[in-house]
Every structure is written in C-alpha cells, then in structure tokens.
Amino acid sequence: MRKDLAPLGYTTNIWLALVIGVSVLGAAFVLTGGPDVPVTYALVGFLWVVATGPTAICFLRWLCYARRNAASYGPGGVGAFRQWTVGGWLCPLANLWIPYRVLADVLRATAQCEPDTPAVLAAPPGRPAGTRVLRVWCAAWHGMWLGLLTAAFDSSDAQVAWLAELAFLALSIVAAACMIGIVTTVTRGQARREADPYIEPASVPRAAPAWFWVTAVPAFVIFVAIGHRLPLGHLTAFRDLFVP
C-alpha cells in the first residue's frame, strides 16, 4: 500500500520555509553585530537548531515513505544504499554522498514514464525533473557545513569566522529552498502515479541497518565528550547550549 505524501510533504515544506526565515534573520543579526560580537552566533545557532530539528524529523519521515513508494513502481525502484535512507544522513563521511544518491534514486524512480511503458526505472527520457535542483542542493549542503566548521575552528581570525558564519547561513537558505523544490517535485510526481500497478518489491528500503542504532548512541556520546574539549572559537556559546 502506497503512502500519500501530500500531508507530510506540505508539513515538511512549511518547516523548510521556517528554516529559510530563521537563516535570513540570522544573517541579518550577524551582519548587524559584525565580527566582534560573538554572542550573536550563539543566538543564531540556537534559533537555527530549534527550527532544523523538527524539519529534519518531518523530512526524513517523508523520505522514508517516498522511497517505499518508489520501490513499488517496479524492479530497480529503490536504487543504491537500500538500508541507509536515514542512517546515510547521520553517518559521518557517508553523509557526503549517500543522501545525494538516495534523493537522486527517488527522483529517478518517481519520474513519469511514457504511456504504455512499464513503470520501471528503465531510463525515462532525459533527466528526471529536479535533477539540477538536486545538484545545487548538494553543493549548498556541503558548502554550508564547510562554512560552519570554518567558523567553529578558525578562531584565530574573527573576520574569517564571521564570513564563514555568513556563508553557512546563506548556503543554508539555498539548500532549504532547493529541498522545498525536491519535496514538491517528488510529492506531485508520486501523486500522478497513484494509479500505477503496485508491484511488491523484492526488498523494502530500510531506515538503517540494525547494527547502526546500536553503535550510533555510543558514537554520539563519544562525539559530545570530545567536542566538549574542542576550542570552538565564536561557536563556544553555541556548543554550551548542548554540553553541560
């Protein structure tokens, strides 16, 4: 049974729009405060995390349903990394590539086939809708985290950290806007294919391998323990929001 993505997709886009609003407001705060007002970064970081947490939950739920729907269109509907729908976003280094690959496979699976053509991933004509937006999202997604790391660890130069923080917020706006386009494209595309015959998939995509959740909690504890001792420069106050 396929899941109707419209309600969750609509909710996800609202949260993504809120992230854009927070990032715009944060950029205004950082520009107004200038490089010599580090308390600004703590406020911006707090607001961004508050907005991003629910957004991530809604989006990952939407993605799980979208991928399961894609699996029902025919052989090859899942694509690569079938057990990493959620885990791929949380696993360091793997999250540099797996999220892009998963989203690309969902877009490809969702693409409307020509009439009287089996609803499999046998190459729809041209690139699936949303491919260019996905590539822009991927560049912005990697760039925003690079900007955040630069702002966090390059505490020797306040100007560099300030510019990196601005870059992070600007790329966050681009990434969220692109994701709204991707969510909308997939949600509408799968709605158009509601009448396609349901083909029982050989294997249903999973959020993550069973062992991932067993190792994720200790890894997070170690990360927090190490991070508590790292010199985060202008983001020290941001770190202190989460580390007692």
DSSP letters of 1-30?
-PPP-HHHHHHHHHHHHHHHHHHHHHHHHH
Specify the pLDDT at position 126: 57
- Nearest Cα to 130, choosing from 168, 179, 82, 88? 179
Answer whether residue 65 shows pLDDT above 90.
Answer: yes
**pLDDT band, residue 36 (cuts 50/70/90):** low
Dihedral (CA of 62, 144, 239, 17) sign? negative
Query: What DSSP state is assigned to residue 78?
Result: S
Q: Tell me which long-range contacts 220-227 makes (C-beta under 8 A, separation of at least 24).
A: none
Answer whether residue 60 shows pLDDT above 90.
Answer: yes
Q: How confident is the model over 115-130, as pLDDT tens digits? A: 444 444 444 445 677 8
Specify the pLDDT at position 117: 44
- Grouping H, G, I as helix, E, B as strand and the rest as coil, residue 187 is helix
Specify the pLDDT at position 232: 45
Answer whether residue 205 shows pLDDT above 70.
Answer: yes
**pLDDT band, residue 208 (cuts 50/70/90):** confident
Integer Cα distance of 17 and 226 in angstroms: 33
Joined tokens for residue 76:
């090859």
Joined tokens for residue 222:
């170690």
Answer whether residue 204 shows pLDDT above 90.
Answer: no
Answer whether residue 241 shows pLDDT above 50.
Answer: no
Integer Cα distance of 107 and 179 in angstroms: 12
**pLDDT band, residue 155 (cuts 50/70/90):** low
Specify the pLDDT at position 63: 96
Mean pLDDT score across all residues of the chain: 80
Between residues 161 and 109, the one the model is more confident about: 109
Q: How confident is the model over 129-143, as pLDDT tens digits? A: 788 999 999 999 999
* Boundaries of every domain in the chain: 6-234
